[in-house]
Structure 1
Amino acid sequence: MNNTSAPADVLLRLLRQEAAGSWSAFLVRALPDEVVDAIVVHPDRRIRSVLAESYAATGEQRGRLVDDPHFRVRQVLANAPNPFRSSAPSLPLPVQRRLLGDPEPIVRRDAAFYGNFDDRLIAGLCDHEDAFMREASCSCWSLLSEGDRDRLLHDPDDGVRLRARRMACRDDARWTGVLLESGLDASPRQDVIQYGAMTPALAAQIAAGDDAWGRQALALNTRAPLDVVRKLADDPEHSVRLAVSVRPEFTEAERAAIDFTVGPSDRLGPVEWVRTCEDADVLRGCARSSHTWLRRSAAFAEHLPADAVELLSHDDDHAVRLLLCERQPTVDGEVVLQTYLECQVITKSLLLSHRNFPKAGLAERFADDPDRVKRALAVLDPDVDADVLARLLADDDSSVSSAAAGHPALPLDLLLGACDNRDTATSALRNPGLPPEIMHERLDALGVPR
């Protein structure tokens, strides 16, 4: 049940097999310890796996499953929860150590590769008897000693050697050459070219090659020799020219001289050197740039200064404004609201949780608006009047009436009626104002034992 006010006795009823269809809801809500107590010893490993995967439970609560009798539950626990655009609490260090030493190979391997565990623990796997674990230790390259690195670079296992050399090539052009001569598949080859240290001769060889993806990756490699990359400004492939155009060394005039376009609907990941930049003046330059891709990338930057945030909030490119609202917590609330109203992407609802989204006064602004999207926003007003809620609950558009059914200020008689309406029942049953006795009555009607 996604009703955040559902008390422990209701949640305990939902652990019955008759309510198994609701178990996925336990992923997304905080749980009282007494409910966790019941889940940990529950006979059905499916609900134990739900707790193991929960991104709302605390790390300590999830960690109680480290001794679960079924290895599949421990495997789920070993994999870090991955909520969209957010993070989950880490498991306690003793639990991490136990999972990395689990007797089941698949559990410890998933813990090492996907567990989001402490880097020091992962680095400590460099001499593990299991090659998969040694390979995982390569991800913490900076924490390894020279001796550890050398052993991994010459490990008897092919996978370990490849992972170690891909890490080493970022600082040593010798390993970049070795890897590119070894016949890598397309994706790892591009990664090595984009991030590997590069000699002028090797860069020139790639630039003269027939692999357009390789030339694009070379252009994005900020350590590749600039004189070699400049020659790609006239490359026959647009993707290569576009990559050249975002080189950090170029002036605005040099960028404008390159033949490239960025359309409103083009999907482009952030330029790496911009996204990770900590220099406020450099980021200001990106925010002022005529290059749309640089401005979009600046919107991602964690260290974007306030004046650049303000500048980009009025950008002509909708994607710039959307990315800014998604990534910057200081964007003005009215900008977030307008961006939401213009947005067509499936993730637009995430903007509603922006800390500056102007919820106060929305009822007065939008309750009678002809646009159903705006009418639905009126329900977000924490001070909306009961009579306005009643009117919105009776709205002809189901998205509006459903939104009204979930407002905690909805009068009880209207709330109970909404529970019996097909269009509003789901939202009404999630309403935090729903009395626990009504929740129990609903479960009675569904045949869930008390």
Structure 2
Amino acid sequence: MFDRRRNQLNAIAFNTSAPTDVLLRLLHQEAAGAWGAFMARPLPDEVVDAIVVHPERRLRSTFAESFAVSGEQRGRLVDDPHFRVRQVLANAPNPFRSGAPSLPLPVQRRLLDDPEPIVRRDAAFYGNFDDRLIAGLCDHEDAFMRGASCGSWSLLSESDRERLLHDPDDDVRQRARIAACGADAFWTGVLLESGLDASSRRDVIRYGAMTAALAEQVAAGVDASDRQALALNTRAPLDVVRKLADDPEHSVRLAVSVRPEFTEAERAVIDYTVGPSDRLDPVEWVRTCEDADVLRDCARSSHTWLRRSAACAEHLPADAVELLSHDDDYAVRLLLCERQPTVDGEVVLETYLKCQVITASLLLSHPNFPKAGHAERFADDPDPVKRALAVLDPDVGADVLARLLADDESTVSSAAAGHPALPPDLLLRACDEPATETSALRNPSLQANVMHERLDALGVPR
């Protein structure tokens, strides 16, 4: 019963047509189960006014994490009396596969100067603040803050860099040397001799500048993770990396096989495999590539990992998008649909229908996902996944919605309950059915008086 009540509150909170007076009711303690919605939906200024002075710190902290409101609205919490709220504000929101509006620069400065160390430290490291502000911390009295400035290494002067590289604090020196090693193999060598933790060591090997002698030393090491990182380092001397093509560890050989300098023939003689279910991060030099011809080569490659990586490239040319949309590897097509807004809609639809991962629903938001005509196409399909798609049709008729609302499959009936064209009498009925009430209460056609009546029934004060 508790979960059902919470679900109803959340549904009303997420209803995009919920008026201000409904949203204000949800700020009562009796509606605390719905407060999570205020992290993920736009809010009118009147509601924000009430949240920033609300007595419950938990609500203010939840709003501080919002990724759906403006930076100016969220930034009003910079004056919050409780440092934990300001700490949450200092940390950048992290919505899945999307960004969040930045806080205004004056708010960023305030948080970096906050009297509470934990607030300013979180702001410096996790706030996604302006790089110029972070670079300006290089002379801060707090070593933690000086260490954060190393994240803006490219904006620091030579004298600032030299000072950080020899800072009296061990952590600051290490951060500075990690930042410097990408362009200076000397610091790569110093770091690898300094006893780094395994994760930092792999990062230094993968991204640090490399002399031939240093690369030979890593290649001869017993740790396969080190050798794999070396093979992925495009700064590492190619003649050293070539020797790893016969490494006893498959992960190392696989890393060698995606070197940018290799031809298709050279890749083909390396003993590696990429299975349909192998989860591999995109090859970085491919993902960040801006050369259309190089990306075309990757899209045409027989190497599955290169094609998957090309599918994730921001600058993938249209002809390569078209080529990869017919790729034999399902993961290539899925990544393409997730990352490329120009993929043909029918390809996105087919990919969605075959998708077995928990993020499948994100494909429904693809700009080319087809919707028109779905009612006629899918309303009577034996597959409930396809029947649910009929509801996406903007021109679906009331008779079809009524039939889908009565469907035995809850995914279908629930989808129908959320359609704004659902006749009012059916919508009210759906609000009282356990299988459909959540979707019905989120339906943007739901009248405000019905929302108020439901809140009354749930014991939320007017």
Name the TM-score, length of structure 2 as normaliser.
0.97
Letter in 1 for 2:150: C
What residue in structure 2 maps to residue 124 of structure 1? Answer: 136
From 430, 436, 440, give the equivalent of 1:428: 440
Distance in 2 separating the partners of 1:141 and 1:30: 36
Letter in 2 for 1:260: Y
Distance in 1 separating the partners of 2:423 and 2:311: 42
Distance in 1 separating the partners of 2:102 and 2:204: 31
What residue in structure 1 maps to residue 16 of structure 2? Answer: 4
What residue in structure 1 maps to residue 88 of structure 2? Answer: 76
What residue in structure 1 maps to residue 292 of structure 2? Answer: 280
Letter in 2 for 1:34: E
Distance in 2 separating the partners of 1:175 and 1:381: 59
Distance in 1 separating the partners of 2:15 and 2:39: 13
Distance in 1 separating the partners of 2:330 and 2:311: 12
Aligned-residue identity in percent: 86
What residue in structure 2 maps to residue 255 of structure 1? Answer: 267
- Residues 38-437 of structure 1: pairs in structure 2 closer than 5 A: 38-437=50-449
Distance in 2 separating the partners of 1:301 and 1:122: 29
Distance in 2 separating the partners of 1:185 and 1:431: 51
Distance in 1 separating the partners of 2:32 and 2:220: 60
Per the TM alignment, residue 184 of structure 1 is displaced from its structure 2 partner at its CA by 1.0
Distance in 2 separating the partners of 1:449 and 1:239: 60
User: Can you list the C-alpha shifts for 1:203-228, whole angstroms capped at 9, x where unaligned?
Assistant: 01111111110000000001111111
Distance in 1 separating the partners of 2:150 and 2:448: 52
User: Can you list the C-alpha shifts for 1:371-408, whole angstroms capped at 9, x where unaligned?
Assistant: 00000111111111000000000000000000100000
**Structure 1 runs, 4 residues or longer, greater than 4 Å off:** none
Structure 1 regions of 5+ residues with no counterpart? none
Per the TM alignment, residue 26 of structure 1 is displaced from its structure 2 partner at its CA by 1.0
Distance in 1 separating the partners of 2:270 and 2:381: 47
Letter in 2 for 1:355: P
Distance in 2 separating the partners of 1:292 and 1:374: 30
Distance in 1 separating the partners of 2:194 and 2:284: 27
Give secondary structure in 2 for the equivalent of 1:379. helix
What is the CA RMSD across the aligned residues, in angstroms?
0.5
Structure 2 regions of 5+ residues with no counterpart? 1-12
Give secondary structure in 1 for the equivalent of 2:196. coil
**Greater RCO, 1 or 2 (C-alpha within 8 Å, sep 6+):** 2
Distance in 1 separating the partners of 2:202 and 2:352: 36
Per the TM alignment, residue 229 of structure 1 is displaced from its structure 2 partner at its CA by 0.4
User: Can you list the C-alpha shifts for 1:139-163, whole angstroms capped at 9, x where unaligned?
Assistant: 0000000000001101111111111
Letter in 1 for 2:450: I
Distance in 2 separating the partners of 1:158 and 1:382: 61
Distance in 1 separating the partners of 2:317 and 2:57: 49
Distance in 2 separating the partners of 1:265 and 1:272: 20
